[in-house]
Amino acid sequence: MMKFIAFNAREDEQQYFEAWEKKNGVQVDMVEEAIDSTSINQTVGYDGVLALQTGVFPEKMFDKLSKNGVKVFAIRNVGVDNLDLEAAKKNGIKVTNVPAYSPNAIAEFSVTQLMQLLRNTTIFRRKVAEHDFRWAPFVGKELRSLTVGVIGTGRIGRAAIDIYLGFGAKVIAYDVYPNPELVQEGLYVSSYDELFAQADVITMHMPATPKDHHLINADTIAKMKKGVYIINTARGSLINTPDLIKAIKDGQVAGAALDTYENESPLFNHDLRGKELEDKTFSELLELDNVLVTPHVAFYTETAVKNMVFIALDSAKSVCEKGHADTLVI
């Protein structure tokens, strides 16, 4: 009988794992732990491993998985930038991902966060809690009066563009791999610098690559319009956080919504109530009224969770039965 083991299995995923297991007659065991140098020993005897973690995987993970008899490694998310794909290939382990679990979930969330920044809702929530009901000087902005620069025009970026256009905003976009339909619509600019110079809002929906590490930094921020808003629901490594903080304090950046953070693994999806945060940069972010920090939850809707589980399991099953899957990375 085919057997899979799912790491980082959450309570909200359980009903979907169980429904798929019952329908397909494949054993699926769930563990709460992430894959580390100890928990990886639990993979002995399994055909496939399902994972969901944005941080660092254990050293020589694919060597160990191969020795344990694992045939397929199925990520329940899009990004594979934290996986050693060459090591997977060397060890004969197929890797799959979930390229589109719900583009609209992330796109909608990014717009929601921007709208809060534009209308100063964080500041007004604090003021109301203090029984200060005055308005000034926190006047808002209307989205339809702004130019939104979308970096990355894949499924998520395209969904975001549609929403922004619905609000009546002017949209410009940049992507190293332009979408032919958007080319016809005339939305693309020719470079990052051109987008930085024109955009009132910069929203990122792109993968992380070595070339784009710290795309947002002191030098690039200086090329942006004063009072720009920055939205990141993509990857934390795209932003040099200390540079962003300085730009916010200096007024060059009017606000930022960050659903991802470069050093998020020790923080996000952990209960740290009552504990002092060791990451001083992150603590500094949290103190800023015009910064919205959320713990990598842009994807987190019922639709997305179901799709992430079902597509990852379908992919793993397909690899084990047929040697390939539509979602194959390598």
- Strand pairing report for 253-258 and 291-293: parallel
Which H/E stretch holds residue 148? Answer: strand 147-151
Cis peptide before 137 (omega within 30 of 0): yes
- Burial tier of 113 (Cβ tally within 10 Å: 0-12, 13-18, 19+): buried
Q: Write down the catalytic residue from 76, 155, 205, 296.
A: 296
Residue 328 and residue 319 in contact, taking contact as beta carbons nearer than 8 Å: yes
Q: Write down the catalytic residue from 155, 158, 205, 235.
A: 235
- Burial tier of 122 (Cβ tally within 10 Å: 0-12, 13-18, 19+): middle
Distance from C-alpha of 175 to C-alpha of 298, rounded to nearest angstrom: 21
Distance from C-alpha of 205 to C-alpha of 156, rounded to nearest angstrom: 6
296 is catalytic: yes
Helix (H, G, I), strand (E, B) or coil at 166: helix
Distance from C-alpha of 49 to C-alpha of 95, rounded to nearest angstrom: 10
Rg of the Cα atoms in the chain: 21
Q: Write down the catalytic residue from 86, 264, 273, 302.
A: 264
Helices and strands per DSSP (H, E), number in the chain: 12, 11
235 is catalytic: yes
User: What does the CA dihedral 101, 102, 105, 106 come to, rounded to 10 degrees?
Assistant: 70
Q: Which residues are catalytic?
A: 235, 264, 296
